Amino acid sequence: MEVWLDTLGDSGHDGVDAIFAKDGTNGIYVNDGILYQDGSMIGGHVHIHSEETQAKARSLAGSVEWILLTFEDWSMIPIENILAATEATPTKVAAQINQPIHAQGAGFALDIGVDALLCSEDCLEASLIVKSLRLEQMEESSPPNPAPSEGIKLTSMTITEIQEGHAGDRACIDLLSMLDKGEGMLVGSTARSFVLVHGETIESKYVPTRPFRVNAGSVDAYTYLANGTTKYLCELTSGDEILVVGSDGASRSATVGRMKIESRPLILLRFKDENTNEGHVFIQQAETVRMVSVNGKVCSVTDLSVGDGILGCTFPSTRHVGQSISAPSEER
């Protein structure tokens, strides 16, 4: 992590990486939303004061070397959201602080931290302390898990517990694409463990098929989008591009045409993968809701038993507003 000192004079301080020059000559400075260093453009500057300016900063992720954030009213939330947007990109984030206590918050936001602190003399000591602490942690940090793109490695999830008698709101996702047998959506109540919920492509003597639909589960569950981020099922809306996954791990994008949220009886399925990573999901208690067993056969959730193996996947990274981040997190 770097420390940029906002001062009129020379740095004269050990540990200061750059001088922020308000006169726009040497060092680091801003002009009309552009961030410069010694006359060369190195990124963008966004003054955060609204949701729109936060969105502008997020939109720069991956397209510039640096994003400098300054604030109308200093807040951690925009820093966290922008760090989540940039973590899997080469873009680095610098944040202005105006109180010493802000150094700790910005320097360790999401347990990742900004790449530079812009501070005045009053905040310099606190900024240098955070820089030293970050250097000590560098060897322990690990890169974020890449988002799924062309395929998903599905593994066996062993069912460890089945609880009936729950009730809640579940989401049916209707797509603009027809689903093939073996295809469905990844759904899970934690950001790390998912199971493959099969589409309604299997014939039943009681109801017709809906080969564009996935009865995905309770509204609090996550699902994967085509761009590698996640959303809660209740957040999905028409036009969203979700990730459709087949029993062979092949994946593709499909557009949400409509979603329905209705109150239904639910089953709680707890499961673990081959490395004993645990997960769970609430699924509607209905014969037409199906999973895919490890042998590739489609099975109704009402026919599952403890010890059965179903297809799913586990990801090592957690999530912040849908973005994969490397910060530690415990979900139950």
Q: Same structural domain for residues 245 and 130?
A: no
| Confidence check: pLDDT of 295 > 80 | yes
Residue 44 falls inside a structural domain: yes
Q: Same structural domain for residues 93 and 161?
A: no
User: Containing domain of residue 47, as a range?
Assistant: 2-140
pLDDT in tens, 235-248: 999 999 999 999 99
Q: Which of 211, 253, 216 is nearest to 233 (CA)?
A: 216
Q: Same structural domain for residues 72 and 95?
A: yes
* R_g over Cα of the chain: 24
pLDDT of residue 322: 45
Q: How far apart are CA 112 and CA 157, in angstroms?
A: 31
pLDDT in tens, 90-125: 999 999 999 999 999 999 898 789 999 999 999 999
CB 255 within 8 A of CB 192: no
Domain boundary among 140, 165, 199: 140
**Is the model more confident about 329 or about 222?**
222
Q: Same structural domain for residues 305 and 198?
A: yes
Residue 145 falls inside a structural domain: no
- CATH at 311: 2.170.16
For the chain, the domain total comes to 2
Q: How far apart are CA 196 and CA 157, in angstroms?
A: 10
Q: Which of 151, 132, 96, 155 is nearest to 309 (CA)?
A: 155
Q: Same structural domain for residues 162 and 265?
A: yes
| Confidence check: pLDDT of 229 > 90 | no
Q: Same structural domain for residues 169 and 130?
A: no
Q: How far apart are CA 259 and CA 169, in angstroms?
A: 12
Give this prediction's pTM.
0.57
pLDDT of residue 67: 96
* Unique residue bearing structure tokens 């067993």: 293
Domain boundary among 140, 175, 195: 140
Q: Same structural domain for residues 130 and 182?
A: no
Q: Same structural domain for residues 116 and 253?
A: no
State the average pLDDT over residues 152-169.
92
Q: Same structural domain for residues 127 and 162?
A: no
Kindly give the residue spans of alpha helices, DSSP state H, lying in the chain: 51-59, 76-86, 100-107, 121-137
Domain boundary among 78, 105, 140: 140
Residue 330 falls inside a structural domain: no
Identify the weakest region by mean pLDDT among 30-44, 130-144, 268-282: 130-144
Residue 49 falls inside a structural domain: yes
Q: Same structural domain for residues 165 and 83?
A: no
